């Protein structure tokens, strides 16, 4: 049976990515070797990382003066690399969820952290408004999409200092105005590649302004100087990322990806809002994520949640169980998920509601 993959991460990849990765595991670039067993210094892999880097720059329209890095350690490693490299006095952060608060915890090891606002009081079900960045902040850090709670800041905020964003779960779903940023980072396993590689896009001239010693591997300048080859980069995830990037480009780039993402999310939210049985956990439409749609059963139907998961799995729908800190359901609608899968979920919700 065809599966409809709604996992939050690692998550669905395009058929193109999976097929080409499978082929390269058997024979990479006609070398007669698997991509699993070639040197990262071979000319064939150098071509892969070069093309992947160029496509990230092209698709995201990254201006001159920024470097695109392919790093290990996950987005969670960036929580410490960011303040290690950029924070000497004070930085501002907004607390919109678990990942944001993990980033705040690490930043506190390196300087003063001004938390401009938090939505923790309401289990992170909204994006705080009317906050101000503290005077003298070196940067403002935010999580553009809160994967666990289904909220999103889809528009680059306006603040009086440079910005840094964790875009792990919504990169390649909207344009980014890089003139406002000194760094953007994203773990690949939500919208790009298998787990194991993280993209960090850093503004070169924003580096080198802290006076602490930085361990070699945690210093962005090391990886810029060596083209992400200071040590062995995650070869296979980078190969897969290239396939996804080619697929994105062939589809028509960010414009088309965003159009599809908005249409998928609109269809699902419309169904949730019109339902007698389901309700969204994020009530302000402006705060709703187009990548991770979180919903629950209304109190009078609560005891049917388990049954709905089984009902869905009979139809090939997998990965819709909500994160344990929110409960209910979460449908992740990443770029590779076709509208057809959203329609199958919508159908299941309607049929289940009819049945009860």
Ligand X SMILES: *Cc1c(COP(=O)(O)O)cnc(C)c1O
Q: Is residue 70 flagged as an active site residue?
A: no
Applying CB under 6 A, among 67, 119, 169, 244 the residue interacting with ligand X is 169
Pairing mode of beta strands 181-187, 163-166: parallel
Burial of 96 (0-12, 13-18, 19+ CB in 10 A): buried
Q: Residue written as tokens 């749609």?
A: 293
Between 70 and 301, name the residue whose CB sits nearer to ligand X.
Answer: 70
Residue 6 token pair: 């709604």
Strand-pairing partners, residue 68, are 201
Nearest approach in angstroms of CB 249 to ligand X is: 24
Taking residues 126 to 145 in sequence order and writing x for each that binds ligand X by CB under 6 A, - otherwise, the string is -----------------x--
d(CA 355, CA 353) in angstroms, rounded, equals 5
Residues 64-103 binding ligand X (CB under 6 A) are: 74-76, 99
Q: Is residue 166 flagged as an active site residue?
A: yes
Q: Decide: is 9 part of the binding site for ligand X (CB under 6 A).
A: yes
Single out the segment in contact with ligand X by CB under 6 A; choices: 164-172, 214-222, 245-253, 336-344.
164-172
Between 99 and 269, name the residue whose CB sits nearer to ligand X.
Answer: 99
Question: For 204-213, which contacts have Cβ atoms below 8 Å and span 24 or more sequence positions?
Answer: 204/65, 204/66, 204/67, 205/65, 206/86, 206/162, 206/182, 207/85, 207/86, 209/86, 209/88, 210/84, 210/85, 210/86, 210/87, 210/88, 211/88, 212/84, 212/88, 212/110
Residues 186-205 binding ligand X (CB under 6 A) are: 187, 190
d(CA 166, CA 266) in angstroms, rounded, equals 24
State which residue has the least CB distance to ligand X: 74
Nearest approach in angstroms of CB 169 to ligand X is: 4
Nearest approach in angstroms of CB 94 to ligand X is: 13
Between 13 and 277, name the residue whose CB sits nearer to ligand X.
Answer: 13
Catalytic one of 166, 219, 261, 287: 166
Q: Residue written as tokens 């389901």?
A: 278
Q: Decide: is 150 part of the binding site for ligand X (CB under 6 A).
A: no
Between 233 and 308, name the residue whose CB sits nearer to ligand X.
Answer: 233
Between 154 and 190, name the residue whose CB sits nearer to ligand X.
Answer: 190
- DSSP collapsed to 3 states, 82-111: HHHHHCCCEEEEEECCHHHHHHHHHHCCCC
Catalytic residues, which ones?
99, 166, 190
Note the residues at the interface with ligand X (CB under 6 A): 9, 74-76, 99, 143, 147, 166, 168-169, 187, 190
């Amino acid at each position: 049976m065809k599966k409809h993959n709604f996992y939050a991460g690692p998550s669905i990849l395009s058929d193109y990515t999976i097929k080409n990765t499978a082929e390269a595991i058997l024979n990479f670039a006609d070398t007669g070797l698997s991509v699993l067993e070639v040197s990262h210094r071979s000319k064939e892999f150098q071509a892969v990382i070069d093309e992947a880097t160029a496509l990230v720059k092209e698709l995201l329209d990254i201006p001159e003066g920024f470097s695109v890095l392919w790093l290990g350690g996950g987005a969670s490693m960036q929580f410490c690399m960011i303040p290690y490299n950029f924070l000497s006095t004070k930085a501002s952060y907004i607390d919109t969820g678990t990942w944001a608060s993990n980033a705040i915890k690490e930043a506190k090891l390196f300087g003063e952290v001004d938390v401009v606002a938090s939505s923790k009081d309401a289990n992170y079900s909204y994006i705080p408004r009317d906050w101000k960045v503290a005077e003298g902040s070196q940067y403002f850090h935010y999580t553009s999409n809160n994967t666990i709670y289904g909220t999103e800041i889809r528009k680059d905020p306006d603040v009086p200092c440079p910005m840094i964003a964790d875009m792990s779960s919504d990169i390649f779903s909207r344009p980014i105005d890089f003139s406002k940023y000194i760094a953007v980072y994203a773990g690949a396993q939500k919208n790009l590649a298998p787990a194991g590689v993280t993209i960090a896009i850093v503004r070169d001239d924003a580096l080198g302004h802290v006076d602490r010693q930085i361990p070699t591997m945690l210093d962005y300048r090391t990886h810029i100087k060596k083209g992400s080859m200071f040590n062995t980069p995650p070869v296979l995830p980078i190969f897969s990322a290239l396939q996804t990037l080619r697929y994105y480009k062939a589809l028509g780039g960010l414009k088309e990806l965003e159009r599809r993402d908005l249409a998928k999310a609109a269809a699902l939210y419309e169904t949730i809002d019109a339902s007698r049985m389901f309700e969204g956990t994020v009530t302000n439409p402006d705060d709703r994520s187009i990548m991770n749609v979180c919903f629950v059963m209304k109190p009078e139907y609560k005891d049917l949640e388990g049954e709905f998961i089984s009902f869905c799995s009979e139809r090939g729908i997998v990965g819709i169980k909500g994160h344990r800190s929110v409960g209910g359901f979460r449908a992740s609608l990443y770029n590779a998920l076709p509208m057809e899968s959203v329609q199958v979920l919508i159908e299941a919700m309607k049929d289940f509601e009819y049945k009860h």
